[in-house]
Amino acid sequence: MSFHTTFKTERLIIRPTSEEDAEFIFKLMNTQQWQEYIGDRNIKSVEIAETYVKSKILPQFARLGYGNYTIIRNSDKAKIGTCGLFDREGLNGIDIGFAFLPEYGKLGFAFEAAERIIIAGFTDFGLKTILAITTEDNSSSQKLLTKLGLEAVGTTELPNDSKKLLLYSIENKS
């Protein structure tokens, strides 16, 4: 499957993040929620966001065929969040991650996008297991991961980060 694959749900377009998303990525990565729960990636301008997309996001698509997707609301084509499958340093497996602009939270978009990405991970990309990590204080993500069918399996720490993270997992049942 090509990394140019775009997925659709009833309300969403889920397409590979590209350089044209730099302004959106800059905005998203500087929200309070991103900074608090994911961490500061030092994206202080749209230009730096474009470099981030080129150096961090596009290479994984080229290497694995999947990565970070920009979530677009179908009704008005607004870019509302990201969701993707990541080959994250320090994890033994591929994990799912998601983040949405605050005004699009608690509307079911994260569940809808993540559910579709999990299906793609198993059916389109041949993954056997999908992991997820979240901070201990991010109860919204914990609830969403559980609703998606992931089970808490322990804790982990990523390299160069002393924060203890909750680790979740889901197996491909088919």
Does the residue 154 lie in any domain?
A: no
- Please give the residue range of the domain that contains residue 46: 7-128
Is residue 37 within 8 Å of residue 141, measured between CB atoms? yes
Q: Is the pLDDT of residue 24 over 70?
A: yes
Does the residue 134 lie in any domain?
A: no
Does the residue 171 lie in any domain?
A: no
What pLDDT was estimated at residue 84? 98
Does the residue 146 lie in any domain?
A: no
- pLDDT, tens only, 53-110: 999 999 999 999 999 999 999 999 999 999 999 999 999 999 999 999 999 999 999 9
* CA dihedral over 29, 35, 41, 43, signed as positive or negative: positive
What pLDDT was estimated at residue 12? 98
Residue 39 or residue 68, greater confidence: 68
* CA nearest neighbour of 82 among 65, 99, 96: 99
| Mean of pLDDT values over 114-119 | 98
What pLDDT was estimated at residue 83? 98
DSSP E strand stretches across the chain = 7-8, 12-16, 68-73, 79-86, 95-100, 129-135, 151-156, 165-171
**Cα 145 versus chain centre, distance:** 12
Q: Is the pLDDT of residue 16 over 60?
A: yes
- pLDDT, tens only, 120-162: 999 999 999 999 999 999 999 999 999 999 999 999 999 888 7
Show the DSSP H helices in the chain as ranges: 22-29, 32-33, 46-52, 58-64, 109-123, 139-147
Does the residue 2 lie in any domain?
A: no
What pLDDT was estimated at residue 9? 97
Does the residue 31 lie in any domain?
A: yes
Does the residue 88 lie in any domain?
A: yes
Distances (CA, A) of 36 to 33, 52, 68: 5, 19, 20
Domain total of the chain = 1
Does the residue 137 lie in any domain?
A: no
Q: How confident is the model at residue 2 (pLDDT cuts 50, 70, 90)?
A: very low
What pLDDT was estimated at residue 92? 93
CATH number of the CATH domain containing 124: 3.40.630.30
Q: Is the pLDDT of residue 1 over 90?
A: no
